[in-house]
Amino acid sequence: MSQHSADPAPNTVLATVARHRDWWRDAVIYQVYPRSFADSNGDGMGDLEGVRSRLPYLRDLGVDAVWLSPFYASPQADAGYDVADYRAVDPMFGNLLDADALIRDAHELGLRIIVDLVPNHSSDQHEWFKRALAEGPGSPLRERYHFRPGEGEGGELPPNDWESVFGGPAWTRVTEPDGTPGEWYLHLFAPQQPDFNWNHPAVGDEFRSILRFWLDMGVDGFRVDVAHGLVKAEGLPDLGAHDQLKLLGNDVTPFFDQDGVHAVYRQWRTILDEYTGDRIFVAEAWTPTIERTANYVRPDELHQAFNFQYLGTHWDARELRAVIDRTLDAMRPVGAPATWVLSNHDVTRHATRFAHDSALGTQIRLAGDRELGLRRARAATLLMLALPGSAYLYQGEELGLPDVVDLPDEVRQDPAYFRGAGQDGFRDGCRVPIPWTRTGSSYGFGAGGSWLPQPEGWGELSVEAQQGAPGSTLELYRSALAVRREQRGLGAGDAVEWLRAPEGVLAFRRGEFVCVANTTGESVTAPAHGRVLIASDEVTEANGEAKVPADTTVWWTTA
């Protein structure tokens, strides 16, 4: 039986689908990491024109929208998550006209564009922060950040015990204009990323204006960076004994997931709703529980929130079922879709995470069994795309890319890596520029090199190598997205009906669809459920029974 039964959807279908109301409830959204997607000018760094030139690829892949990681003016201390000017494009990515052209072209192709918004902190090169430093203690600009005198006799100790997510203290002491050591400022991430004080009205005003700037440019939504961090507990109380904080972690702290953040989002929602076009917010909110995540997507707040509990779940039927149930139960009362995600620019790619049998977490630097990792990743993606709700894909996962685990230390750029004892800082491994062609200096990424070296053999994973190749991961993604578009019921709804299945196997029905995911290392026999729509590996059927190979997901339709 064939693995793929549907051709990519014709463009006319794409355009129609993209216009349907509440499009985001079951949308598949593709994350572009602009540095590493496509380089139009051969400088080794991806750019907006590169993204624009590859939009037809994304249309043909069959996604509904594209989320772009930050491309704003930035000294790049944290790959653009340190913004110096929220209304300007960094010259290394292009200019505002390029952004405009990208948005327009995307719309013509029936794709929506979501941009990243970084409201928790700015760059230390932001005009406000530079002035705050230059004007010295007492400057009104300092009130827009968190400046404090130090503790200890000479103010030589940080104001409290908070730690940076990237390791080390969350406070840095400044040198005052007169050359003396002075106040401290808060940065939950790198020292080049000072946190805004969201109790100051100018901060809120500024971000409402930034929202309008990009809405007027025509974007379809915002991914809100560190959405859980804006408001800090009153008085900045100590954290107490604590393990090193983790990216996408679920710690309870006085600086994350404070109830005060929701007032900000209720205000933002009214702005978005003034605009036509069904635009959306998606929250990057690390919270202790899925139920806390649901608070961000109440009807008058944001639309989607990444499900990091799902991202962190192992390839294990029991664990997956538990997190799926808990997610759907948490989202139902607020009427928001679940937002599934397996990979992004902050974690080890899922093809590498699943290449290990032991639970190594989401930041790992071991290749593991690549073949096993890819089998499971393909199966995990089909499982994710069969669940009700929206799903995010990270560039290159459709090629089955593994993490690059052996980057030499001298090419690494992740600030977490340089903060020593802190986060393990392996994020560069998922940020290596993607291969478009079998050969060429950077495998079609650009005419020059690539800012992170691509491993040997990368060309065999390229779009060129996989395009049209039966059984390739790229063709699996295309077929899955085409089936999802054709069968509108697939992403809809808010519930699954679990079916009896052997140990290690997930089976559920949703209307006329049945999805079976075998997470074990052995093939299993399961009842066949009509017609196979797609499978991540060869499924054979006889006498009403199907043989589902190890680490394989299959979708059936009974219609």
**Binding string, residues 231-250; x marks residues near ligand GLC by CB under 6 A:** ----------------x---
Where do runs of H (alpha helix) occur along 164-217?
A: 201-217
C-beta of 430: minimal distance to ligand GLC in Å? 11
C-beta of 427: minimal distance to ligand GLC in Å? 7
C-beta of 14 vs 226, nearer to ligand GLC: 226
C-beta of 344 vs 462, nearer to ligand GLC: 344
Contact indicator for 431, 401 with CB cutoff of 8 Å? no
C-beta of 118: minimal distance to ligand GLC in Å? 6
C-beta of 306 vs 436, nearer to ligand GLC: 306
Provide the edge-to-edge strand list for the sheet that holds 171-175.
Answer: 147-148, 181-186, 171-175
Strands (E), 298-370: 304-305, 339-341
Q: Residue 65's closest CA among 220, 281, 283, 297? A: 220
Please tell me the distance from the alpha carbon of residue 180 to that of residue 375, in angstroms, as a whole number: 59
Q: Which of 174, 219, 226, 391 lies at the binding interface for ligand GLC (CB under 6 A)? A: 226
Q: Which of 225, 397, 464, 551 lies at the binding interface for ligand GLC (CB under 6 A)? A: 225
Q: Which of 33, 145, 162, 189 lies at the binding interface for ligand GLC (CB under 6 A)? A: 189
Q: Residue 253's closest CA among 273, 233, 267, 271? A: 233
C-beta of 189 vs 354, nearer to ligand GLC: 189
C-beta of 253: minimal distance to ligand GLC in Å? 15
C-beta of 221: minimal distance to ligand GLC in Å? 16
Q: Could you tell me how many residues of this chain bind ligand GLC (CB under 6 A)?
A: 10
C-beta of 71: minimal distance to ligand GLC in Å? 14
Please tell me the distance from the alpha carbon of residue 475 to that of residue 205, in angstroms, as a whole number: 46
Phi, psi (degrees; rounded to nearest 5) at 74? -160, 140
Please tell me the distance from the alpha carbon of residue 450 to that of residue 429, in angstroms, as a whole number: 14
**Is 183 annotated as catalytic?**
no
Task: Specify burial of residue 542 (Cβ count, 10 A radius: 0-12, 13-18, 19+).
Answer: exposed
Residue ranges in 101-130 that form contacts with ligand GLC under rule CB under 6 A: 118
Take residue 455 and report the two structure tokens written for it.
């491993």
Which contacts (CB < 8 Å, 24+ apart) does range 350-358 have?
Answer: 350/377, 350/380, 350/381, 350/397, 351/376, 351/377, 351/397, 351/400, 351/401, 351/402, 351/403, 352/402, 352/403, 352/405, 352/429, 354/315, 354/380, 355/402
Cβ–Cβ contacts within 10 Å for residue 235, how many? 8
Name the catalytic one among 153, 243, 274, 503.
Answer: 274
Take residue 259 and report the two structure tokens written for it.
């109830």
Q: Is 428 in the site for ligand GLC (CB under 6 A)?
A: no
Residues facing 169 on adjacent strands: 163
Residue ranges in 49-88 that form contacts with ligand GLC under rule CB under 6 A: 78, 81
Please tell me the distance from the alpha carbon of residue 41 to that of residue 125, in angstroms, as a whole number: 26
Contact indicator for 134, 86 with CB cutoff of 8 Å? no
Residue ranges in 258-317 that form contacts with ligand GLC under rule CB under 6 A: 284
Q: Which residue is nearest to ligand GLC (CB)?
A: 81
**CB neighbours of 212 closer than 8 A, spacing ≥ 6?**
271
C-beta of 228 vs 510, nearer to ligand GLC: 228
C-beta of 78: minimal distance to ligand GLC in Å? 5
C-beta of 47 vs 346, nearer to ligand GLC: 346
**Is 538 annotated as catalytic?**
no
Contact indicator for 214, 197 with CB cutoff of 8 Å? no
**CB neighbours of 507 closer than 8 A, spacing ≥ 6?**
498, 499, 500, 501, 514, 515, 516, 517, 526
C-beta of 24 vs 189, nearer to ligand GLC: 189
C-beta of 191: minimal distance to ligand GLC in Å? 12
- Write down the residue that tokens 């090169």 correspond to: 125
Strand-pair category, 304-305 with 280-283: parallel
Name the catalytic one among 183, 225, 475, 551.
Answer: 225
C-beta of 183 vs 225, nearer to ligand GLC: 225
C-beta of 126 vs 345, nearer to ligand GLC: 345
C-beta of 404: minimal distance to ligand GLC in Å? 17
Please tell me the distance from the alpha carbon of residue 507 to that of residue 355, in angstroms, as a whole number: 23
CA 364 to the chain's CA centroid: 17
Contact indicator for 201, 94 with CB cutoff of 8 Å? no
C-beta of 192 vs 536, nearer to ligand GLC: 192
Contact indicator for 430, 394 with CB cutoff of 8 Å? yes
C-beta of 193: minimal distance to ligand GLC in Å? 6
Intra-chain end-to-end CA distance of the chain, in Å: 18
C-beta of 453: minimal distance to ligand GLC in Å? 21
Residue ranges in 439-498 that form contacts with ligand GLC under rule CB under 6 A: none
Contact indicator for 135, 141 with CB cutoff of 8 Å? yes
**Binding string, residues 331-350; x marks residues near ligand GLC by CB under 6 A:** --------------xx----
C-beta of 345 vs 375, nearer to ligand GLC: 345
Which residues are known catalytic residues? 225, 274
By the criterion CB under 6 A, which residues form the site for ligand GLC?
78, 81, 118, 189, 225-226, 247, 284, 345-346
